[in-house]
């Protein structure tokens, strides 16, 4: 019975498929055409959501230098390695999906362009520098991508002349971990995963550059990373028109010289920018705003020399500018407003110039830790504007006829005794300011502006 049933089913199957190949009643089965099926080839019309990353990697491996590879909409499973200088261009909702163990895209060849993708799913090992797009090829262009669910966004390591433009990078804030890492798989919940917060110290940076030069970084948006832009041993680069918020440091910058930062917004972080051990920087027309916490800064500069801070808005921070051991820097035409402390300058800072700045709406305009005699509060006969300064201007030239003394009454007491801040604006404190503005009181720190401006230098 079993044998007869199998024969019957086999005969029925041949009868059903025979017409498709033109087999007649007397046809020789051995003459039927062969069907060549390439299981590794992509579908002709993949369509959104079709996963064919292996095809894309083979296409990259066989591409000619300079070739444009158009990638259709859909999810393309990686990781991918680009060893040939090609232009990789995504269309529609083209997604490059990592495997969670390494970089999603590793750019190794020079002159590679990666644009128009949603890149997601890198590994999370800080020691391995995992990134959505990891660049070790010179002159790469990373443009108009959306990056998420990764450790670092774009990581540039040891190569020059990279352009990173118009990308939107959202750091990974959640991950999955075992409910009980010590439990065996047989125990209750031993194989279960729980979604937990990924602390800021375990996240990567939005844009990370190391040991390189000559980059252009512009029009990028970074949110919820560890640091927005990270420079270490990076020189001669331009960072322009980027929007960075909800990170630790909007700009984290060390041992890097002769770079320009223009038109960027650094906000809602522990520090808008933290610059350390560097020289020859230009900061122009940036916004450092709403960086608030117990020790948050708009602009922190530690051991920075010969740097120009020009026409920036430093507003609504816990501390507007923190300058420690700075030498030969120029602060010109900045608006320093509505901060808890406008400017903190240590007595170890020297030959810094302040001119044309507007100090207004700060709870404490200036905080010092000594006599502060080694810095200059005017340039070419033009000082700064100080809110509530009582100035005489008999000749109408817009410059006060007498120096302005900005008192720091509670400077040395503010850290060990934070409650003294409650005395700010009190009648006694106002009286001391009034007297000090006319007669230098001994033993009280502050700054002396020899040519104070009657009106604010800029709105």
pLDDT at 170 over 60: yes
**Full residue range of the structural domain in which residue 317 is found:** 290-459
For 3-7, 351-355, 366-370, 436-440, which range has the lowest pLDDT when averaged over its residues?
Answer: 3-7
pLDDT band at 49 (very low <50, low <70, confident <90, very high): very low
SS3 category, 399: strand
Report the pLDDT averaged over residues 329-335: 98
**Among 97, 154, 159, 108, residue whose Cα is nearest residue 130:** 154
pLDDT for 53 equals: 78
Q: Are residues 241 and 305 in the same domain?
A: no
pLDDT for 373 equals: 85
pLDDT at 76 over 70: yes
Q: Are residues 297 and 153 in the same domain?
A: no
Backbone angles phi, psi at 152, to 5 degrees: -85, 150
In angstroms, the CA 414 to CA 420 distance is 6
pLDDT for 442 equals: 63
**Among 142, 81, 140, residue whose Cα is nearest residue 110:** 140
pLDDT at 9 over 50: no
Domain assignment of residue 351, yes or no:
yes
Structural domain count, the chain:
2
Q: Are residues 82 and 206 in the same domain?
A: yes
Are 126 and 208 spatial neighbours (Cβ–Cβ below 8 Å)?
no
Report the pLDDT averaged over residues 41-62: 67
Report the pLDDT averaged over residues 234-260: 98
Burial class (CB in 10 A: 0-12, 13-18, 19+), 415: exposed
176-198 tens-digit pLDDT: 667 665 555 444 444 577 777 77
7 or 421, greater pLDDT = 421
363-411 tens-digit pLDDT: 889 998 877 889 999 999 999 999 988 888 999 999 999 998 887 766 6
Q: Are residues 337 and 457 in the same domain?
A: yes
Report the pLDDT averaged over residues 152-169: 98
For 105-114, 253-262, 415-424, which range has the lowest pLDDT when averaged over its residues?
Answer: 415-424
116-149 tens-digit pLDDT: 999 999 999 999 999 999 999 999 999 999 999 9
**Among 117, 119, 124, 71, residue whose Cα is nearest residue 101:** 124
SS3 category, 121: coil
pLDDT band at 34 (very low <50, low <70, confident <90, very high): very low
136's tokens: 């070790």
pLDDT band at 295 (very low <50, low <70, confident <90, very high): confident
Q: Are residues 197 and 311 in the same domain?
A: no
Q: Are residues 323 and 457 in the same domain?
A: yes
Q: Are residues 337 and 423 in the same domain?
A: yes
pLDDT for 433 equals: 63
| Per-residue CA distances from 22 to 15, 29, 53, 201 (Å) | 11, 11, 37, 68
Report the pLDDT averaged over residues 89-96: 96
Q: Are residues 233 and 302 in the same domain?
A: no
Q: Are residues 204 and 331 in the same domain?
A: no
pLDDT for 365 equals: 92
When the pLDDT of each residue in the chain is averaged and rounded to a whole number, the result is: 84
The model's pTM is 0.82
């Amino acid at each position: 019975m079993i044998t007869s049933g199998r024969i019957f089913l086999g005969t029925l199957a041949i009868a059903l498929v025979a017409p498709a190949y033109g087999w007649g009643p007397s046809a020789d089965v051995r003459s039927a055409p062969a069907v060549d099926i390439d299981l590794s080839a992509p579908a002709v019309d993949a369509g959104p959501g079709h996963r064919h990353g292996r095809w894309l990697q083979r296409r990259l491996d066989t591409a000619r230098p300079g070739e444009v590879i158009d990638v259709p909409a859909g999810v393309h499973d990686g990781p991918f390695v680009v060893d040939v200088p090609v232009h990789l261009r995504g269309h529609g909702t083209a997604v490059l999906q990592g495997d969670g163990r390494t970089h999603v895209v590793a750019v190794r060849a020079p002159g590679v362009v990666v644009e128009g993708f949603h890149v997601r799913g890198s590994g999370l090992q800080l020691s391995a520098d995992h990134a959505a797009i990891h660049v070790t090829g010179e002159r790469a262009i990373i443009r108009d991508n959306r990056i998420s669910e990764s450790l670092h966004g774009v990581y540039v390591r040891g190569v020059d002349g990279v352009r990173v433009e118009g990308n939107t990078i959202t750091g990974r804030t959640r991950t999955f971990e075992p409910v009980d890492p010590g439990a065996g798989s047989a125990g209750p919940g031993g194989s279960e995963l729980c979604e937990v917060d990924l602390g800021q110290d375990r996240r990567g940076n939005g844009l990370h550059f190391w040991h390189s030069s000559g980059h252009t970084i512009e029009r990028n948006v970074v949110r919820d990373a560890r640091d927005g832009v990270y420079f270490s041993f990076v020189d001669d680069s331009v960072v322009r028109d980027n929007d960075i918020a909800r990170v630790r440091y909007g700009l984290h910058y060390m041992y890097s010289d002769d770079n320009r930062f223009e038109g960027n917004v650094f906000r809602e972080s522990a520090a808008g920018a933290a610059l350390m051990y560097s020289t020859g920087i230009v900061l122009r027309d940036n916004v450092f705003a709403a960086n608030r916490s117990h020790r948050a800064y708009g602009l922190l500069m530690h051991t920075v020399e010969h740097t120009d801070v020009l026409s920036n808005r430093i507003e609504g921070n816990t501390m507007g500018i923190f300058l420690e051991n700075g030498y030969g820097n120029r602060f010109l035409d900045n608006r320093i407003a509505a901060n808890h402390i406008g400017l903190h300058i240590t007595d170890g800072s020297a030959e810094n110039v302040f001119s044309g700045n507007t100090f207004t709406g700060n709870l404490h305009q200036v905080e010092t830790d000594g006599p502060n005699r080694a810095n200059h509060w005017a340039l070419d006969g033009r000082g700064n504007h100080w809110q509530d300064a009582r100035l005489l201007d008999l000749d109408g030239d817009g410059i006060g006829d007498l120096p302005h003394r900005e008192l720091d009454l509670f400077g040395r007491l503010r850290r060990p005794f934070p409650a003294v801040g409650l005395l700010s604006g009190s009648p006694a404190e106002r009286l001391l300011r009034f007297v000090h503005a006319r007669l230098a009181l001994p033993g009280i720190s502050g700054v002396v502006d020899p040519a104070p401006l009657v009106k604010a230098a800029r709105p």
